[in-house]
Amino acid sequence: MMRTWAGSDDGELVVAAQRGDRAALDTLLRRHEGRLAAVCRRMARNAADAEDALQEALIAIVRGLDRFDGRASFGTWA
């Protein structure tokens, strides 16, 4: 049975995602996607560039998640 992560805090999600739980990773990324998208829209010159930047940011988060040590909140790290 797959666990639902909707009520979990970011710390729990990060630990589970670092252990390979894709549902936790998905929940974590979706939780922060709106804020990241807003930052990308402010920085980009057009919607297509903003979408590309968001995708690159999400990929970078996934690739670097093993380096997140929890000393800062995930929202400021991401």
pLDDT single digits (tens) 38-55: 999 999 989 999 999 999
Structure-token pair, residue 7: 């009520």
* Sequence-distant (≥ 6) Cβ neighbours of residue 75 within 8 angstroms: 10, 32, 35
Q: What is the DSSP letter of 71?
A: S
φ, ψ for residue 72 (rounded to 5)? -115, 165
Q: Give dist(CA 6, CA 63) in Å, integer.
A: 22
Q: Give dist(CA 76, CA 78) in Å, integer.
A: 6
Return the percentage of the chain with pLDDT > 70, whole number.
Answer: 97
The pTM is what?
A: 0.86
- Average pLDDT of span 53-62: 97
